[in-house]
Amino acid sequence: MINASLKHLAALLADKQISSVELTQTYLSRIEAHNATLNAFISLDTERSLDEARAADACRAAGQAGPLTGVPLAHKDIFCADGWRTSCGSKMLENFIAPYDAHVVSQFKAAGMVSLGKTNMDEFAMGSSNETSYFGAVKNPWDHAAVPGGSSGGSAAAVAARLAPAATGTDTGGSIRQPAALTGITGLKPTYGVVSRYGMIAFASSLDQAGPMAKSAEDCALLMNVMAGFDARDSTSLERPTEDYTRDLEQPLAGLRIGLPREYFADGLSADVAAAVEAALAEYRRLGATTVDISLPNTQLSIPVYYVLAPAEASSNLSRFDGVRYGYRAPEYSSLVDLYEKSRAQGFGAEVKRRIMIGSYVLSHGYYDAYYLQAQKIRRLIAQDFDAAFQSCDVIMGPTTPSTAFNFGEKADDPVAMYLSDIYTIAVNLAGLPGMSVPCGFGANGRPVGLQIIGNYFAEAKMLGVAHQYQRATDWHTRMPEGLK
């Protein structure tokens, strides 16, 4: 059952072969057995989860169930959820109880899905390894010596270890796709604005986007049917007709043109990842697709551009955490300025402080034009690269990450090396495009490899169909770590 798809779980519930209470308890029991080792969840509330399951069962009994009513899922701890602690992986919000639901959370509630708890994450979503969390690092279920990726590492580990059938995540520079790749699951970052950011604690507002994390593309499509939609409370939410993200799942791949950026297959890509990706591309050719060589010439600039723009927005967004209104307050201080300084110094971790300082610097008088404005110009060039590429292909494919999961501590003292682990994902956020990662094999060390699929704006349904056809022909997405079965 723990390897069943969301569609299969929903069918079991509809046929009364299992109740939502029984299904929820199955996952809660797995969390109890394995979370002490994996550290995937920050907050749990067993009775609240079971109460939601009972309500879902009552809804089904009354004939009022939707497609996913009674199916459990986990939420990244960046989403406010009424009555739940919402810490964002930080000491700053360690004791913050959210008084309302994020749009994403309320959408899943309305669909009758059951919350299993809040998952661990890099502090304020700043990190690529889940090592910056105030609550400790998450372990990769495939190898406990390896990182699960970040910042949505808790959600990725929970799904990979089958502690949850699905989870929510957020992606600012690859934070859904990178951990999905490193843990062997499927993760989708939608087009910017398709999923509301209301109630999602902000890191970089022009880049942050919520998305689904699950075992398969089909599961992600079902979750997108719930998550997506216009929300007037979010000024960046796009008012578009309602879509069925499952509509292209059965579309054959004959005639599909796959663009292969030469920049994604150059120096820096490990041989074992390259081999797994090439095997996946060979499978796509067997299924009827053709590949064309393309170029994204400004790819190498995406890292410096991102690490100007994202810290700039973070320094503004995190200015609200000052020890006065809510969040951590230093216990001793001599003045208002001292309160600000000590609360922020004690409440934020090292990576958050680093990015706040970088952001404040690039926004300061005399440096705004030299750094921030130039970065915005290059951001436009990066988006134009994708526009040109999609003239000759339908989707773009390549590795999600340059290597498989690295070991804990391996890059902790080298921020630049850590940042380079997102080299293939960041440009997608800068352009606002949809991107996803699907498992496509294992590296030489037995750790998962992810294939990245990038689509044009609002091409999520097409991408999900392209991924689903590959997953029908392969079984990488069904694999799970030994010892967790």
pTM as predicted: 0.97
| Annotation marks residue 377 as catalytic | no
Say which of 87, 151, 196, 237 is annotated catalytic.
Answer: 151
Binned at pLDDT 50, 70 and 90, residue 417 comes out as confident
| Annotation marks residue 152 as catalytic | no
Averaged pLDDT, 144-148: 98
Task: Dump pLDDT digits (tens) for 187-203.
Answer: 999 999 999 999 999 99
Say which of 129, 133, 175, 437 is annotated catalytic.
Answer: 175
Residue 204: pLDDT over 80: yes
| Annotation marks residue 343 as catalytic | no
Give every strand in the sheet of 186-189, ordered side by side: 41-43, 114-119, 72-76, 166-170, 210-214, 186-189, 435-442, 448-455, 395-399, 257-261, 290-294
**Domain limits, the chain:** 6-252, 300-377
Instruction: Give the rounded percent of residues in the chain with a pLDDT score beyond 70.
Output: 100
Angle between helices 20-38 and 6-14 (to 10 degrees): 140
The pLDDT of residue 228: 98
| Phi/psi of residue 77, nearest 5 degrees | -80, 25
The pLDDT of residue 419: 85
Q: 6-252 has which CATH code? A: 3.90.1300.10
Binned at pLDDT 50, 70 and 90, residue 366 comes out as confident
Angle between helices 217-227 and 103-110 (to 10 degrees): 100
Averaged pLDDT, 325-338: 95
199 contacts 88 by C-beta, under 8 angstroms: no
Averaged pLDDT, 362-374: 92
Task: Dump pLDDT digits (tens) for 262-281.
Answer: 999 998 999 999 999 999 99
In 195-349, beta strands by DSSP E = 210-214, 257-261, 290-294
DSSP string, 314-341: HHHHGGG-SSSSSS---S--SSHHHHHH
Say which of 5, 49, 76, 155 is annotated catalytic.
Answer: 76
Residue 413: pLDDT over 90: no
Site of tokens 């990726």: 149
